[in-house]
Chains A and B, each alone.
Chain A
C-alpha cells in the first residue's frame, strides 16, 4: 500500500516568492549600505521557513491545510530520497534541529552524536530503520559537510542558519532600543573561537562515554546502560546519547516556537522523562533553557555571540579556512591592498569581530571567525577594496557609496 500525495502547490509558490523577493530587494533598495543586509535578512527568513516548513505550515492532516498538498515534513530529504541508508535528513551545516516536527534537513551535530552510538547500528532508530553502520553514516555526514563547506564555507552561518537569524533579530531589537553593543577583547575573541573545537571534541567524547555499554560492554558512567536508571523505559539512554543537544540553545528555541504555534503541548515535551531534572524530558531540559536564556542575553550585548562559539560553525570553518581546504575553498573574501585606506569600517561592522579583513595586507582575508555576511563589503566605502568571490567570480564588491550619496 502506498500513499500518493495530492498536488502540492506550497513548494512552487514558495520558490516564486523567494525569486520575486530577491529581485525586488535588489531593484528597489536605494540605500547601498543596506541593500545586502536587507537581502540577507530576506534570505535568512526564507531559509528558516524552508528548514522548518512542515512546522510553520502546520500538520497537513487537518482539513485547513489539506488543499495545500502533502506536508514537506513527509518529503524529508533523507527518508524520501536516501532510503534507509540515511533516513534522518540531509546534513546541512546549519542548526536545523532534529527535534521539532516539520524540519526538512537535519543538524549534522545531532547526526554525528547519534551515529557514534553503536545502538544505531541496530535497525531501529527514531521511527526509522537503518541499513548502514554508524561509521558509514558518520562518513556521509562529514562528506556532506565537507562539500558544503568547500563550496560555500561559513556562508551557511551568515545567510542560512535559523539561529543566526534569531541573533540578528536580537541585534535589530538592540539597535531599535538605541543601545550600543559590547566588544570582546581580541584575546577573549580568539579564545572563544578556539573553544569551538574543544566543545566539539568534548561532546563527541561524551557521546562515546555514554555509549560505552554498547561499545565496550561496560558502562563508564553509572546509569548509561541500555535500560536507563531504575524504573525507566528500556533504550531511553538515547537522551544521553546526544549530550550536546542537552545544552544546545537551538533545541529549546524550536520547541518553544512549536508550542507557541500550538502544535505541541507541554505534556508532550516530557513524554519520556527520567533521571535528575537537568536531563529530564525528551525535547527540552532545564539546562537547555538556561543556556538559551544566557545566549539570548549575551547576543543582545555581543553581536552574533553564539556564532563565536558554535561548534557547527567551527566544523564548517575546519573544511573551508584551514589547510588544506583553505587552498581549494570556493567562497572567499578578497582584499585589494592598493585600494584599502585602513579606515577601519570593516573591523567595526563585523558582527563576529573578525580582524583579518582589517589587519591582513591583501589577498584572501577569509578567516574561521568570518561568517561571510558581507557587512564589510557592504559598508566599505572604497570601490573594489573588498570583494566576495565564489569559484573565482566576483558576486559582490565594495562600492564608493560616499560619493554616490
Chain B
C-alpha cells in the first residue's frame, strides 16, 4: 500500500516535472515577440506598380512600420516577414514581372555577416532592389542565383555603386547573397592574448599531446615486443 502510494506520487511528480520542463523548453524556443508595427499584410496583399506592369507580394505574413510608393518604387521600413529577420530599409520596384518575396535571412558570426534574400518571379522582366546596406561596395561580395544556379555578374544582374541590385530576365526563384566584412578594426582586438590566439594555442597543445601519446605508445610497443622475444 505504501509502495503503491509512493509509486503513484512518484509518477505524478515525474509527470509534473516533465510538463514543467516542456513548458520551459517551449518558452525558450518560442520566437521573441516583436513590438507591434503599424502595418500588417498577408500573401493576399499585392503592392502593384501599374505603370511598370508589375506587382510585389509576399509568400508569408509580415509587418512593417511604414510603406511608401514613389517613382514606381515601394519602400518598406522595418519589414518583418514570418520566419525571417527584420529588414530595416527595403526598396523594390519591378517591371513586367510579378515578384513574391519568400525569405530574408541574415548570417552573423565573428568572421563575416551576410544576407540572403529569396523571391519568386513570374514574367521575364526587371527587378530593382536596394536592401539598405549602404554604398561601401568595396567590402561587398554579391552572388545571385537563378533557380539555384549561380550567375555571373553582368549575365542577368548587376550591382550599382549605391548598392542597388538590378536583376533582368530572371524567372522562377531568385536568391541574392551578400557578404560584407565588418569595419576596419578586427572584432577581437580587445580580447586578451589567449583568446585572440586561442586556435593557435589549442593546435600547439594538440601537437604536443599527439607527440607525447605517440611516444608513449611507441615505448610500450617496444617494451611488449622486447618482453615477447
Contact = CB atoms under 8 A, between A and B. Distances in A.
A268 B211 contact: no
A126 B181 CA distance: 10
A136 B197 contact: yes
B171 interface: no
B112 A150 contact: no
Contact of A84 (B111, B139, B221): B111
A20 B114 CA distance: 38
Nearest to A66: B103
A3 B214 contact: no
Contacts of B148: 58-59, 61-62, 262-263
Interface residues of A, number: 51
B188 A143 contact: no
A341 interface: no
Given A127-B141, A265-B155, A328-B218, A83 B188 contact: yes
A129 B181 contact: yes
B147 interface: yes
A298 interface: no
B196 A85 contact: yes
A201 interface: no
> Interface SS of chain A: helix, strand, loop or mixed?
loop
A264 B106 CA distance: 23
A288 to B, nearest CB: 18
Interface string A79-91: 1101111110000
Contacts, number: 147
A264 B152 CA distance: 9
A85 B200 contact: yes
Given A123-B181, A268-B152, A140 B199 contact: yes
Contacts of A391: 217
B152 A270 contact: yes
A79 B210 contact: no
Interface string B97-122: 00000110111111110101010000
Given A62-B173, A327-B218, A329-B214, A84 B106 contact: no
B175 interface: yes
Given A140-B199, A150-B214, A392-B220, A83 B150 contact: no
A188 interface: no
A270 B155 CA distance: 11
A140 B197 CA distance: 10
Contact of B200 (A3, A140, A327, A392): A140
A71 to B, nearest CB: 11
Contacts of A79: 109-112
Interface residues of B, number: 55
Contact of B186 (A1, A62, A123, A329): A123
Interface string A385-404: 00000011000000000000
A265 B110 CA distance: 31
A214 interface: no
Nearest to A234: B138
Interface in B159-211: 173, 175, 179, 181-182, 184, 186-189, 196-200, 203-204, 206-207, 210-211
A144 B200 CA distance: 10
A83 B182 CA distance: 13
Contact of B106 (A1, A62, A131, A271): A1
A85 B204 contact: no
Interface of A: 1-3, 58-59, 61-63, 74, 79-80, 82-87, 101, 123-124, 126-132, 136, 139-140, 143-144, 146-147, 150-151, 262-265, 267-271, 327-330, 391-392
Given A59-B145, A327-B218, 4 more contacts: A3-B108, A140-B200, A143-B204, A151-B210
20 contacts: A1-B85, A3-B85, A3-B105, A3-B108, A59-B175, A79-B109, A79-B111, A84-B186, A87-B111, A87-B112, A124-B139, A139-B200, A147-B206, A265-B151, A265-B152, A268-B150, A268-B152, A327-B218, A328-B211, A328-B214
Please name the 9 residue pairs, one residue from A and one from B, whose CB atoms are nearest each other, closest first.
A267-B152, A328-B214, A83-B110, A143-B203, A87-B111, A267-B155, A131-B186, A392-B221, A268-B152
Interface of B: 85-86, 102-103, 105-112, 114, 116, 118, 139, 141, 145, 147-155, 173, 175, 179, 181-182, 184, 186-189, 196-200, 203-204, 206-207, 210-211, 214-215, 217-218, 220-221, 224
